[in-house]
Structure 1
Amino acid sequence: MATDPRGLRGDAPLLDAWLRFQEQAPTPFTIPGHKQRHDLVGDVVAGDVPLYAGLDTMKLSAGVLADAEARAVALWGADVCRFSVGGATHANQAVALAVGRPGDEVVVSRTLHRSLLIGLVLAGLTPVWVRPDVDPATGLPLGVPPAAVARALAEHPRARAVFVGDPSYVGTVGDVAGLAAAAHDHDVPLVVDGAWAAHAGFHPDLPRHALQLGADVLVTSAHKTLPAWSQAALVLARTERVDPARLDAGVEATATTSPAGAVLASTDAARALLARDGADLLGTAIAATRRARDRLAAVPGSVVLDGPHVDPLKLTLLLPGTGADGLAVERDLLAAGLPVEAAERDLLVGVVSLADDDATLGRFAEAVAASVQRHRGAPRPVVGAAVYGVEPEQVLVPRAAFFADAVAVPLAAAVGGVSAELVAPYPPGIPVLAPGERVTAAALSALLAARDAGVRIAYAADPTLGTLRVVR
């Protein structure tokens, strides 16, 4: 029997509908095809309830989704909210369709997520790239400076929006209020992909969330740092500079017509939990993360990202000073049942959520410290920052590059061609090449230097860089 251990259903209409479906145990003549039988493929389908003719009627006459979205509007201080069962990927693409028309320019942080790149393709938008600042000590991205956005908008006065990701994947936090001011000086919306920080703004020791800081749109993932099902996300917007009808149209155009009710119900439940108990649960997790961070910082040679511009619920450990290989550390952690979000030669990233406490974080920190000590070697230099010196040269808009005929050629033969793919060393995870950009000798030199230093080449069709896909 499905349960509600924290008594959230009274404030979570989608959760209440999901529980009522389990309690009534209907014999449905609708999809999904398993018809709630667990004797066919097993409990892998347990809890799978559709929105249509499941949480609500086929005509959505009960309005439970609209009710749940309205409660999220109130909690985050937005004007509109849409739940997504396709993750922040779906939400980013929906917003891209909402803010411009084919051929329009938009200012985009070079730290874009791949989903936004496809959003540019779908909407036919032309990116005007801005770069984040870089920490020279770690080679990792910081925030995009507001001055860079202001310059880009001054040089491209017809740009229709500004897109940034904040906090970054590694947990660094930028000046979102400054970015909002720069965008609003040109009367365009600031769209923030805050997928990694759905907890932001709900504890005094956390950064405020993007809407509190003046952003017009916040995309966030309920499944990353809140206790929701995978693929649960929200797009929240203020409508002074964003047309709500266009946003709705963008969401519907890119969404499944068979949304998973369990994902929606878990989003609603996570929202209710955050509203009622979030501060207490987050306080426990923040304190435990501080102790874990202190333990890892005590490992000789290690660098743990810390300070006022780092999300208190992100554990990012730099390993070059220890000489340990992060991939070897990852193998130890997997053997101990402690998988991490990211493990590269020079970097480990652990995601913390309000589900964590001293028990989970203490075990994790001790295991990482022991493994680093086991694999300790000669210190090596930080190499991530080298790729930031490459200036992109846009030849085709992303949409044209996406649909162009492409061919894989030996790397040396790619110089002068137009890249058909996204190529980003990780860390720092920022593209050196994006679809539609000229392949220059400088770009290839930076990529090869990163590869030869042991940095993973992400997103490329050939991560060894033996070949590169270019427009034919």
Structure 2
Amino acid sequence: MPTDPRELRCDAPLLDAWLRFQEAEPTPFTIPGHKQRHDLVGDVVAGDVPLYAGLDTMKLTGGVLADAEARAARLWGADVCRFSTGGATHANQALALAVAGDGDTVVVSRTLHRSMLLGLVLAGLTPVWVRPEVDSATGLPMGVAPAAVARALAENPDARAVFVGDPSYVGTVGDVAGLAEAAHAHDVPLVVDAAWAAHFGFHEALPAHAIQLGADAMITSAHKTLPAWSQAALVLARTERIDPARLDAAVEATATTSPAGAILASIDASRALLARDGETLLGAIIEVTRRARERLRAVPGLVVLDGPDVDPVKLVVLLSGTGADGNLVEQDLLTAGLPVESADRDVVIAMVSLADTGQTVGALVAELVASVERRRGIPRPVVGPASYRVEPVSAIPPRQAFFAPAETVAARDAVGRVSAELVAPYPPGIPVLAPGEEITRDALDALGQARAAGLRIAYAADPTLATLRVTA
């Protein structure tokens, strides 16, 4: 169902401002330096309009950003909303600064993205880790159990907040309502990184979103499942347990002072589209994905992640039972012009969004099936991602480790030392080692297995893992 963006402008003040700027064709004497000319570096700068002296005046007298954020807060049922042009990374770090202080303890799910780990460094927070349950049949993470959070809070009564990631990168959904109840029993806020769930709560076949389920704050990425620019994200919060003034200060402290107006306008436009046509558009892609899962389940040995606790519009397939190597399957898909979100030896993840159709998803499924048949081999045992198999051993707070004098040692000599760096297989960027943790043999083995399975080792100074940075 194609949509003329001009039809949304009456309910999207930032989109309207972006369109008005284009229609006016001004001659600006402000940044950005391309001055709206496309003949210098090409259309790569097309649509780039600043917020200041672009969508609004330099003094923000029009109030279009505040208006758009208020509309988003109402749609998601939050008290406040802030738009981010720095993605969920910026949003996570702002919330780390907003809910606790230097030296405070927080309960943190080990499934959280590396951006929150760096948020702990910025805010000086000490994590008490809780780990997700893991499905023995697939090796993939499920949600963090509310009982695990309740136990962590009981053992750490001075904890100031609970941070979890839900849904997971593979689309599994936990008991957010139960997590909120556990956090609120200790009168601390629950912050949910729902980066992959901007569509939740807007169709009866989808899970409710975190704010609906009682979370105090939710981070979501508009650019993941909604048709927004890359780096587009939202922070949504209730203010009973989160100070809105401190949240604003934290957002501003970690944000650029030159926000891209096109990113902001795309968040606003996506919100307006979701409000007007979300149920219809989501219903269509839910049905398309359901049919895709049926076709994939018919492939012998192929396991398709599905069920009531799985995002209905995410396609995740496990290849172990087919013997096919997911890295080779990915190459086939790339050759066919069908890149996927993630692929390693055992798991292929394809993102489906509001922009997809039966034709696009059908083409992906057809090529995926053909590739699996072409690449078949001897079935392998299921081995889950490294990030979920390693028990973290905290030695010193992350901030202390990050700023401590460090030295580089051979990996074989690093066991028992304290990591000075964050090391994570990517995607999804969930750490196996974080600053301040003891380097264990299990951690090194898991990272080696992830690298052998075809994943990139990210954030480490030496991505080959021949050496590691440790505190001196």
TM, length-normalised to structure 1: 0.96
How far off its partner does 1:360 sit?
0.8
Q: Give the match for residue 276 of structure 2.
A: 276
Q: 1:181 to 1:239 in 2, by over 3 A?
A: same
Q: Aligned partner of 1:331: which letter?
A: Q
How far off its partner does 1:415 sit?
1.4
Q: Give the match for residue 124 of structure 2.
A: 124
Q: Give the match for residue 158 of structure 1.
A: 158
Hey, what's the Cα distance between the residues in 2 that align with 1:230 and 1:426?
Answer: 18
Q: Give the match for residue 213 of structure 1.
A: 213
Q: 1:23 to 1:119 in 2, by over 3 A?
A: same
How far off its partner does 1:459 sit?
4.1
Matched-pair contact (CA < 8 Å) for 1:105–1:158: yes
Hey, what's the Cα distance between the residues in 1 that align with 2:45 and 2:426?
Answer: 36
How far off its partner does 1:446 sit?
4.2
Matched-pair contact (CA < 8 Å) for 1:134–1:385: no
Q: Give the match for residue 420 of structure 2.
A: 420
- Matching of residue 74 in structure 1 with residue 74 in structure 2: yes
Q: Give the match for residue 369 of structure 2.
A: 369
How many residues are paired up? 470
Alignment of 1:182-193 (within 5 A): 182-193=182-193
Matched-pair contact (CA < 8 Å) for 1:192–1:210: yes
Matched-pair contact (CA < 8 Å) for 1:347–1:427: no
Hey, what's the Cα distance between the residues in 2 that align with 1:339 and 1:450?
Answer: 20
Alignment of 1:281-430 (within 5 A): 281-384=281-384, 388=388, 390-425=390-425, 430=430
Q: 1:137 to 1:386 in 2, by over 3 A?
A: farther
SS in 2 for 1:300: coil
Q: Give the match for residue 18 of structure 1.
A: 18
How far off its partner does 1:100 sit?
0.6
- Matching of residue 140 in structure 1 with residue 140 in structure 2: yes
SS in 1 for 2:417: coil
SS in 1 for 2:103: coil
SS in 1 for 2:460: coil
Can you list the C-alpha shifts for 1:303-345, whole angstroms capped at 9, x where unaligned? Answer: 1100000000110111111111111111111111110000111
How far off its partner does 1:51 sit?
0.5
Hey, what's the Cα distance between the residues in 1 that align with 2:252 and 2:451?
Answer: 41
How far off its partner does 1:392 sit?
2.2
How far off its partner does 1:203 sit?
0.4
Q: Aligned partner of 2:141: which letter?
A: P
Hey, what's the Cα distance between the residues in 2 that align with 1:430 and 1:42?
Answer: 37
Instruction: After the TM superposition, list the runs of 4 or more consecutive aligned residues in structure 1 that deviate by more than 6 angstroms.
Output: 426-429
SS in 2 for 1:278: helix
Can you list the C-alpha shifts for 1:108-150, whole angstroms capped at 9, x where unaligned? Answer: 0001101101111110011110000001111111100000000
Matched-pair contact (CA < 8 Å) for 2:113–2:429: no
SS in 1 for 2:284: helix
How far off its partner does 1:298 sit?
1.2
Matched-pair contact (CA < 8 Å) for 2:114–2:431: no
Q: 1:363 to 1:410 in 2, by over 3 A?
A: same
Q: Aligned partner of 1:65: which letter?
A: L
Hey, what's the Cα distance between the residues in 2 that align with 1:385 and 1:36?
Answer: 46
SS in 1 for 2:234: strand
Hey, what's the Cα distance between the residues in 2 that align with 1:91 and 1:451?
Answer: 29
Can you list the C-alpha shifts for 1:280-314, whole angstroms capped at 9, x where unaligned? Answer: 00000000001111111111111110000000011
SS in 1 for 2:53: helix
Q: Aligned partner of 2:124: which letter?
A: G
Hey, what's the Cα distance between the residues in 1 that align with 2:69 and 2:223?
Answer: 16
Can you list the C-alpha shifts for 1:39-66, whole angstroms capped at 9, x where unaligned? Answer: 1111111111110111111100010000
Q: Aligned partner of 2:99: which letter?
A: V
Q: 1:387 to 1:22 in 2, by over 3 A?
A: closer
Matched-pair contact (CA < 8 Å) for 1:385–1:428: no
Higher mean Cα deviation, 396-405 or 56-65? 396-405
Q: Aligned partner of 1:404: which letter?
A: A
Q: Aligned partner of 1:33: which letter?
A: G
Hey, what's the Cα distance between the residues in 1 that align with 2:97 and 2:39?
Answer: 43
Matched-pair contact (CA < 8 Å) for 1:136–1:385: no
Matched-pair contact (CA < 8 Å) for 2:141–2:388: no
Can you list the C-alpha shifts for 1:378-435, whole angstroms capped at 9, x where unaligned? Answer: 0011122677554322112111111122222111211121012223457896533211
Higher mean Cα deviation, 9-18 or 460-469? 460-469
- Matching of residue 249 in structure 1 with residue 246 in structure 2: no
Hey, what's the Cα distance between the residues in 1 that align with 2:393 and 2:193?
Answer: 25
Hey, what's the Cα distance between the residues in 2 that align with 1:389 and 1:152?
Answer: 19
Higher mean Cα deviation, 122-131 or 436-445? 436-445
- Matching of residue 38 in structure 1 with residue 32 in structure 2: no
Q: Give the match for residue 60 of structure 2.
A: 60
Q: Percent of aligned positions with the same letter in both sequences? A: 77
Hey, what's the Cα distance between the residues in 2 that align with 1:444 and 1:268?
Answer: 44
Q: Give the match for residue 225 of structure 1.
A: 225
Hey, what's the Cα distance between the residues in 1 that align with 2:240 and 2:121?
Answer: 26
Higher mean Cα deviation, 10-19 or 403-412? 403-412
Matched-pair contact (CA < 8 Å) for 2:386–2:432: no
Matched-pair contact (CA < 8 Å) for 2:327–2:454: no
Hey, what's the Cα distance between the residues in 2 that align with 1:7 and 1:170?
Answer: 35
Q: Give the match for residue 9 of structure 1.
A: 9
Matched-pair contact (CA < 8 Å) for 2:113–2:430: no
Matched-pair contact (CA < 8 Å) for 2:106–2:163: yes
Q: Aligned partner of 1:266: which letter?
A: S
Hey, what's the Cα distance between the residues in 2 that align with 1:233 and 1:386?
Answer: 28
Matched-pair contact (CA < 8 Å) for 1:344–1:426: no
